[in-house]
Amino acid sequence: MIALLMRDLRLSLRAGGGFGLGLAFFLIVTVMVPFSVGPQSSLLAEIAPGVLWLGALLACLLSLDRLLALDWEDGSLDLLATAPLPLESTVTIKALAHWITTGLPLVLAAPVLGVLLNLPTPGYTWVVVSLLLGTPALSVIGTFGAALTVGLKRGGLLLSLLVMPLYVPTLIFGAEVARRGAIGMDTHTPMLMLAGITAASIALLPFASAAVLRVNLR
């Protein structure tokens, strides 16, 4: 399992630009927001937590396409499926690798981009905490979407259409934690819900992803 994780990490680091692409996209989305809503700093401060969450979500979505497609094309996915490791674990490891290469950098970059959006001071901690709790769910749900569309020629657009509605609960609670934290409200309830969604997704969705992948590999 460790070997598989290291392999996926190394592949995404070395395969041209895949690693930094999500981060660059996150930066671009954040920079575009003031251009589209205007430079009033009070307005930006108000919407900053939501914008950071939306940017992180879109950046995550962008990289899902490559998650399984490359392994599918060169046939290594067939080998992984016939390996002694259960497919459920393989899928979980792949989601973990995706999170380490996409989710974690986004979490680390969020405070820096918060400065650009004039994020209120108490908001920094909460944006990081909410993203740290929520992005694993985004990766796991995204892996399910990638597994659904892996056999398709142009699955990218369809992938977004399928995954977006599934992201709704995570986005609601994640952005709510960040928003409430930024204005100094109690974040207890949405944070528990967010953690619950993440835990349940990690526990259950790999089974669905593996089932779907088996159908696609048949």
Partner 1 sequence: MSFWEYANPKKFLTTTERMMPFLWLTSGTLVAVGLIWGFFFTPDDYRQGSTVKIIFLHVPAAMTAINCWVMMLVTSLVWIVRRHHVSALAARAAAPIGAVMTVIALITGAIWGQPMWGTWWEWDPRLTSFLILFLFYLGYMALWEAIDNPDTAADLTSVLCLVGSVFALLSRYAVNFWNQGLHQGASLSLDKKENVADAFSNPLYVCLAGFVLLFIALVFYRTGTEIRARRIKALLARERIGA
User: Does residue 173 bind partner 1 (CB under 8 A)?
Assistant: yes
C-alpha separations of 158 from 150, 163, 215 in Å:
11, 9, 18
Q: Which stretch binds partner 1 (CB under 8 A): 47-55, 83-91, 112-120, 144-152?
A: 144-152
Q: Which is nearer to partner 1, 116 or 217 (CB)?
A: 217
Cα–Cα distance between 160 and 93 in angstroms, integer?
A: 22
Q: What angle do CA 87, 91, 92 make, to 5 degrees?
A: 115
CB of 158 to partner 1, least distance (A): 6
DSSP string, 41-75: HHHHHHHHHHHHHHHHHHHHHHHHHHHHHHHHHTT
CB of 198 to partner 1, least distance (A): 12
Binding partner 1 by CB under 8 A: which of 23, 33, 131, 148?
148
- Residues contributing to the site for partner 1 (CB under 8 A): 144, 148-149, 151-152, 155, 158, 161-162, 164-166, 168-169, 172-173, 176, 189-190, 193, 197, 205, 208, 211-212, 215-216, 218
